[in-house]
């Protein structure tokens, strides 16, 4: 069984790109980002979720580029095609990378939007910075990505967070906040306190209003 972390990191990253990831980074698995509870919208109950087992200390975080031309059609349905393809790619690539790691003799758990928050993991893995609009901004694709991740007990060498000037630019820009039709993006300075129950309070950042975003999105998709 291969075990050199540097060599294994090189191999796993190469495999992720071969499987179809647009970019890949590694971070230590920070358990603050893992979902602790599941919410049932029918019963309004919260139930605890089983933890990721001990020994899973690495996360492989992958970006999946969405088509530029189709994303420009948002909020028309062309954008839906790019988003749907992004979700399908996430599922295929994350499952394939997890399978590859299991074939090497280690354990691996693939996930998409489920199981843990993707954006802080992508930030930890050096794939981009958080923007005012609540999305990851990447050096190569901007915010036009979906994110998947694979948790593993294979020892890997983590990447470092990067600074590409997003915080500075968002501090003086604010165009997305002015243009947002749902008025869900903050026009104010970053804070530690979120706006609604859906925010993950206690982190210094721009908080979006997820309820406003979702209400606008639902009304748009189902105007009748």
Q: Which is nearer to ligand SF4, 17 or 169 (CB)?
A: 169
Around 39, how many Cα atoms within 13 Å sit in the side-chain half-sphere?
6
Residue 173 makes contact with ligand SF4 by CB under 6 A: yes
Nearer to ligand SF4, 132 or 205 (CB): 132
The site string for ligand SF4 over 121-140 (x = CB under 6 A, - otherwise) reads ----------xxx-------
Q: What gap in Å lies between CA 33 and CA 89, rounded to an integer?
A: 23
91 binds ligand SF4 (CB under 6 A): no
Pick the closer one to ligand SF4 by CB: 161 or 174: 174
What 100-107 contacts at long range (C-beta under 8 Å, 24+ apart), as own/partner pairs, is 100/12, 100/15, 100/19, 101/12, 101/150, 101/152, 101/154, 104/1, 104/2, 104/8, 104/154, 105/1, 106/152, 106/153, 106/154, 107/53, 107/55, 107/56, 107/152, 107/153
User: Which range in 37-45, 82-90, 114-122, 171-179 contacts ligand SF4 by CB under 6 A?
Assistant: 171-179
Among the residue ranges 41-49, 89-97, 111-119, 166-174, the one whose residues contact ligand SF4 (CB under 6 A): 166-174
Using rule CB under 6 A, residue 175 touches ligand SF4: yes
Question: Least distance from C-beta 184 to ligand SF4, angstroms?
Answer: 12
For residue 125, give Cα distances in angstroms to 89, 163, 198, 200.
20, 12, 24, 20
170 binds ligand SF4 (CB under 6 A): yes
Shorter beta-carbon distance to ligand SF4: residue 8 or 170: 170
CA distance to 198, 204, 206, per residue, from 201 (Å): 9, 9, 11
**Closest CB 188 distance from ligand SF4, rounded Å:** 12
Segment interacting with ligand SF4 (CB under 6 A) among 49-57, 82-90, 119-127, 174-182? 174-182
- The residues binding ligand SF4 (CB under 6 A) are 131-133, 169-170, 173-176
């Amino acid at each position: 069984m291969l075990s050199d972390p540097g060599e294994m990191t090189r191999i796993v990253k190469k495999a992720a790109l071969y499987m179809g990831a647009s970019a890949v980074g590694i971070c230590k698995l920070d358990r603050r980002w893992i979902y602790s509870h599941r919410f049932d919208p029918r019963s309004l109950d919260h139930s605890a979720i089983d933890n990721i087992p001990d020994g899973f200390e690495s996360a492989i975080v992958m970006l999946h580029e969405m088509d530029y031309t189709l994303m420009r059609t948002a909020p028309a349905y062309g954008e839906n095609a790019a988003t749907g393809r992004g979700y399908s790619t996430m599922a295929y690539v994350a499952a394939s990378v997890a399978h590859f790691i299991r074939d090497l003799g280690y354990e691996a758990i693939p996930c998409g939007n489920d199981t843990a928050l993707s954006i802080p993991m992508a930030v930890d893995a050096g794939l981009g910075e958080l923007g005012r609009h609540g999305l990851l901004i990447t050096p190569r694709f901007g915010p036009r990505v979906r994110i998947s991740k694979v948790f593993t007990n294979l020892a890997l060498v983590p990447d470092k967070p990067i600074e590409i000037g997003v915080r500075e630019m968002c501090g003086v820009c604010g165009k997305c906040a002015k243009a947002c039709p749902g008025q869900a993006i903050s026009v104010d300075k970053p804070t530690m306190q979120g706006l609604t129950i859906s925010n993950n309070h206690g982190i210094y950042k721009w908080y979006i209003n997820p309820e406003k975003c979702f209400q606008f999105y639902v009304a748009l998709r189902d105007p009748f």
